[in-house]
Chains A and B, each alone.
Chain A
Amino acid sequence: MTKLIHALAIAGLTGTALGAGAHTASASSHREAPAIAEDQYADNTDVYAFISPSNANNLVIVADYVPLLLPTSGPNFYKFSDNARYEVHIDNDGDAVPDIAYRWTFRSQRKNGATFLYNTGAVDSITSQNLNVTQTYRLEKVNEHTGQTTTIMDNIPVAPWNVGKRSFASYEQVALQAVTTRNGVTAFAGPRDEPFFVDLHVFDLLGVGGAHTTDGINVMSLVIEVPITDVASKGARPAAGDTGLKSVVGIFASASRPRVRFLRDERDRDHYGSFTQVSRLGWPLINEVIIPLQDKDKFNRSQPKNDVANFGAYILDPEVPKLLNLVLHANCAPTPAGGRTDIVGLLSPSGTKAADMLRIKINQGQTNTDSHFPNGRALTDDVTDTLLTVACNNGQKIGDGVDANDLPFTTTFPYLASPHSGNP
């Protein structure tokens, strides 16, 4: 409730009575656009950003990819793509143009190609010889203006899939060996419990009613914890109370693919050309339910700085409240003359340029308790309820009836819950 009031206050809706209302919902960004639905490994599902609960001088960013993963997904368990670039972009001066990126690139290894097994025996360590299929990554920091890259860490192991109890007597003990700190940056890459909670029955003509449809599902997570001075403009953290353009950073995640892919008859596929963005996400739900089918792929290819020009009409006059009225008689407010400038306001805090970026205050004095959507996004934030209530705009709190994740989050890095086991 507190979070919702915070959101509404920013939207200029303080004083609104919040009561129980119709249950309705949607999903975040899982399989949200036609083209990316055909490219699961590059599908960016959610982004979270919050001040570290253990060190208020650090910012934590979580970027999730590869949606809706069944734990029993062998024999080729999920991983990251070796032929994609996974990136978290950061705008630190409010112009909706990213200044810094963190880039992950992956490489798979196989110890024994003569077996179908992911692991050839019990695994008690991330370096276990029984772990047949492995993946490592390089994490780089990119100057987005010049393209210059600096390697933060390289050849870092990805946490393995939680195959089952016969393979892992203590899965999480092994997985956490993938947590690595180099050059002041702590990183984790690997499967985690899907932290987004929602009733996906929304896509059955808004037929929601509190079904925990993402319970028991996993996702592939990239998590970094970085000093705030690493991402602040000119490396200077703004003073407490500063409300200028540089007092917030805007964050979005993306995946890019080489432009050309060749499928061979006798050889492995290969790729050619420059990388081009195929998926992106800042706020939850924007491309899912604000952008219509005709422009969803375009949204994934485009840059946030052009969001107002490209998609502003959809934000000013969103479809969601009309559907809520039509199907659920939710009595949402009609779109006012001039459109939903309140939502645009949410997308442009502190005078920043409106764009689909997850913006978070980085002033001195900001702490983890301040980091709740839309000021960043905590793992526990019920963004579905928040955004539906904002979209409906009738003073009533509405939601999907799913208010929390199936597993508790942790207070230590990487903060996400351990992935569900394929054979618990």
Chain B
Amino acid sequence: MATRLLVVLASTPAALIGCHSTDDGLPTRPPTSVTMVSSAGFESPTDAVASPDGRTFYFAAWDLDKQPTLFQVSSDPGSAPRALAAGDPLEAPLGLVLSCDGNTLYVADMGGDVGALLVVPTAGGPAAALEATGMTRPGGLAMGPDCKSLFATGRLDDGTPALFQVPIGGGVARVVYQGAPLVSPTGLHIDSQSVAWVMDHLAQGAQGEGVLFSIPSDGSKATEVISSLRMGTPGGVSLTAGGGTAVMPTRDEDGKAQLTSVDIATRAVTQFPTPDLADPAGLRTARKAGVFVVVDAEAGRIYRAE
């Protein structure tokens, strides 16, 4: 792990070093392999997260009775998922994130009249609502670097797209950023400097629709990082350790699945084809292991990438 991290830092432009503290434990490079972990007992997965050690994946999907369900599954290939929670109050779980200790699963649920944030113990137990006053229709979730606040993409009551910060114990949602150029913000990643990296399905960027934005913690601006991303629903993004590379599941112009990596400093783009996937979405990293988890929303599969 340390060796790979050094390699990345050595190849990172000097101007970037110091901009982000290293996120110890995150993957140090984009994935170069994908392995199917689970494909039975559920359909239409939306998002997934990995336990800090990368050994367990949690994902949101619909069970075979069409109930919205949160599942837990080993990250080993061929694993059978176990339902953590199903049905009410879950309606349309679209975004997940784990607490830093891995004991609590936070859920962005876009169902109901205004959507909700929900909390589920990973040890098992019912889902409970988490107050987030001022935020509606949450879609993407990420954990702040201090492990004390959640960041969520959603909408103000009047429908304006926005990025919010919510205490992990619930409370008033602080609006970090609102309005244009955001249109339909979805998955996000928060780096060690509290910079939000926000995917947007429908925002128009310089090269076309589908944009990755970076938004500093003071919400002073939303800067386009890359556009013309044909992202899944929800869009997913994770940064490698040190924040040097953003990794996103996308499709190429022929509709073939791939993992797109963008060097944040140079904007250089590399593609890793993932022909086994149909519609890759919601990509996340483990906090302390070099593992990504990716859902295939259309084929109904969970993949491990590393």
**Chain A residues near B (Cβ < 8 Å):** 97, 143-149, 259-260, 262, 264-267, 270, 272-274, 303, 305
Interface presence of B92 (CB below 8 A): yes
How far apart are A154's CB and chain B's nearest CB, in angstroms?
Answer: 13
Q: Are B230 and A274 closer than 8 Å at their CB atoms? A: yes
In-complex Cβ contact of A146 among B92, B94, B139, B207 (8 A): B207
Give the interface centre of A97, A273, A303 by most chain B CB atoms within 10 Å: A273
Interface presence of B233 (CB below 8 A): yes
17 of the cross-chain contacts (CB-CB < 8 Å) are A97-B254, A145-B253, A146-B228, A147-B209, A260-B92, A260-B233, A262-B92, A262-B137, A264-B113, A272-B94, A272-B139, A274-B201, A274-B232, A274-B233, A274-B235, A303-B255, A305-B254
How far apart are A155's CB and chain B's nearest CB, in angstroms?
Answer: 17
Bound complex: CA A272 to CA B210 (Å): 13
Interface presence of B176 (CB below 8 A): no
In-complex Cβ contact of B208 among A143, A259, A262, A303 (8 A): A143
How far apart are B50's CB and chain A's nearest CB, in angstroms?
Answer: 23
Contact (A148, B233) CB under 8 Å given A262-B92, A262-B111:
no
Bound complex: CA A148 to CA B229 (Å): 11
Contact (A267, B113) CB under 8 Å given A147-B230, A272-B184, A272-B233:
yes
Q: Are B255 and A274 closer than 8 Å at their CB atoms? A: no
Bound complex: CA A149 to CA B210 (Å): 12
Bound complex: CA A346 to CA B113 (Å): 52
Bound complex: CA A145 to CA B113 (Å): 38
Chain A contacts for B233, CB-based, 8 A: 259-260, 272-274
Q: Are B232 and A144 closer than 8 Å at their CB atoms? A: no
Chain A contacts for B209, CB-based, 8 A: 147, 149
How far apart are B271's CB and chain A's nearest CB, in angstroms?
Answer: 15
**Interface residues in B, total, Cβ within 8 A:** 30
Give the interface centre of A97, A148, A260, A274 by most chain B CB atoms within 10 Å: A274
In-complex Cβ contact of A147 among B92, B94, B112, B210 (8 A): B210
Interface presence of B110 (CB below 8 A): yes
Q: Are B228 and A147 closer than 8 Å at their CB atoms? A: yes
Contact (A147, B208) CB under 8 Å given A260-B233, A273-B233, A274-B233:
yes
Chain B contacts for A264, CB-based, 8 A: 112-113
Give the interface centre of A266, A272, A305 by most chain B CB atoms within 10 Å: A272
Interface presence of B144 (CB below 8 A): no
Query: Which residues from 129 to 188 on chain B have a C-beta closer than 8 Å to any C-beta of chain A?
Result: 137, 139, 159, 184, 186
Known A-B contacts: A265-B113, A274-B210. Give 5 more (CB < 8 A).
Answer: A97-B254, A265-B112, A267-B113, A272-B233, A273-B233
Bound complex: CA A260 to CA B297 (Å): 12
Bound complex: CA A361 to CA B159 (Å): 47
Interface presence of B114 (CB below 8 A): yes
Chain A contacts for B112, CB-based, 8 A: 264-265
Bound complex: CA A120 to CA B233 (Å): 42
Interface presence of B231 (CB below 8 A): yes
How far apart are B305's CB and chain A's nearest CB, in angstroms?
Answer: 21
Chain A contacts for B201, CB-based, 8 A: 272-274
| Closest chain B residue, CB of each to CB of A140 | B204
Chain B contacts for A149, CB-based, 8 A: 204, 208-209
Query: Which residues from 209 to 245 on chain B have a C-beta closer than 8 Å to any C-beta of chain A?
Result: 209-210, 227-228, 230-235
Q: Are B234 and A146 closer than 8 Å at their CB atoms? A: no
How far apart are B66's CB and chain A's nearest CB, in angstroms?
Answer: 15
Bound complex: CA A303 to CA B252 (Å): 14
Bound complex: CA A234 to CA B114 (Å): 48
Bound complex: CA A147 to CA B110 (Å): 28
Chain B contacts for A144, CB-based, 8 A: 253
Q: Are B207 and A147 closer than 8 Å at their CB atoms? A: yes
| Closest chain A residue, CB of each to CB of B139 | A272
Contact (A273, B234) CB under 8 Å given A144-B253, A260-B92, A264-B113:
yes
Chain A contacts for B207, CB-based, 8 A: 146-148
Give the interface centre of B139, B208, B228, B235 by most chain A CB atoms within 10 Å: B208
Bound complex: CA A145 to CA B231 (Å): 15
How far apart are A75's CB and chain B's nearest CB, in angstroms?
Answer: 26
Bound complex: CA A147 to CA B228 (Å): 6
Chain B contacts for A147, CB-based, 8 A: 207-210, 227-228, 230
Chain B contacts for A270, CB-based, 8 A: 137, 159
Bound complex: CA A71 to CA B228 (Å): 41
Bound complex: CA A265 to CA B112 (Å): 7
Q: Are A148 and B228 closer than 8 Å at their CB atoms? A: yes
Bound complex: CA A262 to CA B233 (Å): 14
Chain A contacts for B253, CB-based, 8 A: 144-145
Chain B contacts for A267, CB-based, 8 A: 113-114
| Closest chain A residue, CB of each to CB of B235 | A274
Chain B contacts for A274, CB-based, 8 A: 201-202, 210, 230-233, 235
Chain A contacts for B186, CB-based, 8 A: 272-273
Bound complex: CA A97 to CA B253 (Å): 10
| Closest chain A residue, CB of each to CB of B206 | A148
| Closest chain A residue, CB of each to CB of B155 | A270
| Closest chain B residue, CB of each to CB of A144 | B253
How far apart are A313's CB and chain B's nearest CB, in angstroms?
Answer: 22
Chain B contacts for A259, CB-based, 8 A: 233
How far apart are A87's CB and chain B's nearest CB, in angstroms?
Answer: 13
Chain A contacts for B94, CB-based, 8 A: 260, 272
How far apart are A208's CB and chain B's nearest CB, in angstroms?
Answer: 39
Bound complex: CA A270 to CA B113 (Å): 10
How far apart are B185's CB and chain A's nearest CB, in angstroms?
Answer: 10
How far apart are A274's CB and chain B's nearest CB, in angstroms?
Answer: 5
Bound complex: CA A97 to CA B231 (Å): 20
How far apart are B211's CB and chain A's nearest CB, in angstroms?
Answer: 10
Chain B contacts for A303, CB-based, 8 A: 255
| Closest chain A residue, CB of each to CB of B232 | A274
Bound complex: CA A145 to CA B254 (Å): 9
How far apart are B246's CB and chain A's nearest CB, in angstroms?
Answer: 18
Q: Are B113 and A266 closer than 8 Å at their CB atoms? A: yes
Bound complex: CA A145 to CA B111 (Å): 34
Q: Are A262 and B110 closer than 8 Å at their CB atoms? A: yes
Bound complex: CA A2 to CA B186 (Å): 55
Chain A contacts for B208, CB-based, 8 A: 143, 146-149
